[in-house]
């Protein structure tokens, strides 16, 4: 399987490792931010696309009144299964769905939310158009995407470490996909092509912390589709690659508790 073909594969042990290590490492602060942006509005129904293992879903369930219906969808059933197993503070609807072709009528939701999923959409403008279609008049589409990899310390360190392990064919998943959709002008163009008005784009920096360099190395190498790229190059080399990433993080950030920058764009657009 080629790198680009494996970019959307979240299977096997990836969902569990993703939820255990990657969610607290980089996703939680941005999930809380999205939930706060949504909670200030008067709502009836909220749709989340590319929900993953449910970090935003849990934040929404905690922040929104109990009478607001939350529908959380993802293309990867394994990720939804992990989200459902983790659970939420109140009932939500979990549904397998493709953001490129949402199985909902026009004008069904007051808000559509997407955390770090847009980078994986094959046609961003088409997926954004689907969000526009299912929104009611004056509804809100709010999503976030990672800024360039150079602004995200652990992702950059892992990518550099793996380039030394596989110098002839370095795995580029992190730079190619999670951090590959960061140009604000392109994002604004795609949102406009989907039929929204002018997008508001805020760039937010936060901190990523872990008790040891092993945690971010494990999170990125084994809890994302980067794992598939590593194993495609060396079927038995996953631990070696993880250790190389751990050593590079330790070299840059220390051998004890580590802290690095993370940075993302948060995009809001009204229907």
**CA dihedral defined by 58, 197, 152, 259, rounded to 10 degrees?**
-50
136-170 burial, b at 16+ Cβ within 10 Å, e below that, comes to: eeebbbbbbbbbebebbbbbbbbbebbeebbeeeb
pLDDT in tens, 158-191: 999 999 999 999 999 999 999 999 999 999 999 9
The alpha carbon torsion through 42, 46, 49, 51 (nearest 10 deg) reads 100
The span from the CA of 115 to the CA of 92, in Å, is 17
Over residues 212-245, the pLDDT tens digits come to: 999 999 999 999 999 999 999 999 999 999 999 9
Q: Are 112 and 141 in contact (CB under 8 A)?
A: yes
The DSSP element (H or E) to which 206 belongs, if any, is strand 200-210
Higher pLDDT pick, 13 / 70:
70
* Structural domain containing residue 7: 3-270
Segment 258-265 shows an average pLDDT of 98
CATH number at residue 172: 3.40.50.150
Alpha carbon distances (Å) from 113 to 81, 128, 245, 263: 19, 11, 32, 19
pLDDT digits (tens, 9 = 90+) for 42-92: 999 999 999 999 999 999 999 999 999 999 999 999 999 999 999 999 999
* Separation CA 271–CA 134 (nearest Å): 10
Domain count, the chain: 1
Q: Please determine, for residue 9, whether its predicted confidence score (pLDDT) is greater than 90.
A: no
How does the average pLDDT of the chain come out, rounded?
A: 95
Q: Give the dihedral sign, CA 200/201/205/206.
A: positive
Work out the percent of the chain whose per-residue pLDDT is above 70: 96
């Amino acid at each position: 399987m080629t790198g680009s073909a494996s970019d959307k594969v979240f299977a096997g042990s990836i969902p569990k490792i993703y939820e255990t290590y990657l969610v607290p490492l980089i996703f939680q602060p941005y999930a809380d931010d999205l939930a706060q942006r949504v909670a200030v509005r008067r709502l009836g129904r909220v749709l989340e696309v590319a929900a993953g293992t449910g970090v935003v879903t849990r934040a929404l369930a905690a922040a929104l009144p109990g009478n607001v219906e939350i529908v959380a969808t993802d293309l990867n059933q394994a990720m939804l299964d992990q989200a459902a197993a983790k659970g939420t503070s109140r009932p939500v609807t979990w549904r397998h769905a493709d953001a490129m072709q949402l199985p909902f009528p026009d004008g069904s939701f007051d808000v559509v939310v997407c955390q770090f999923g847009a980078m994986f959409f094959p046609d961003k403008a088409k997926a954004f158009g689907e969000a526009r279609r299912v929104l009611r008049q004056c509804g809100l589409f709010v999503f976030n995407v990672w800024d360039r990899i150079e602004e995200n310390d652990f992702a950059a360190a892992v990518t550099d470490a793996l380039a030394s392990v596989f110098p002839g064919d370095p795995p580029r998943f992190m730079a190619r996909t999670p951090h590959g959709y960061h140009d604000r002008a392109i994002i604004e163009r795609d949102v406009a092509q989907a039929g929204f008005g002018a997008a508001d784009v805020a760039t937010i920096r936060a901190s990523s912390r872990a008790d040891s360099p092993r945690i971010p190395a494990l999170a990125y190498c084994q809890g994302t589709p980067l794992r598939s790229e590593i194993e495609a190059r060396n079927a038995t080399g996953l631990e070696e690659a993880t250790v190389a990433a751990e050593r590079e993080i330790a070299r840059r950030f220390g051998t004890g508790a580590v802290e690095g920058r993370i940075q993302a764009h948060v995009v809001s657009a009204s229907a």
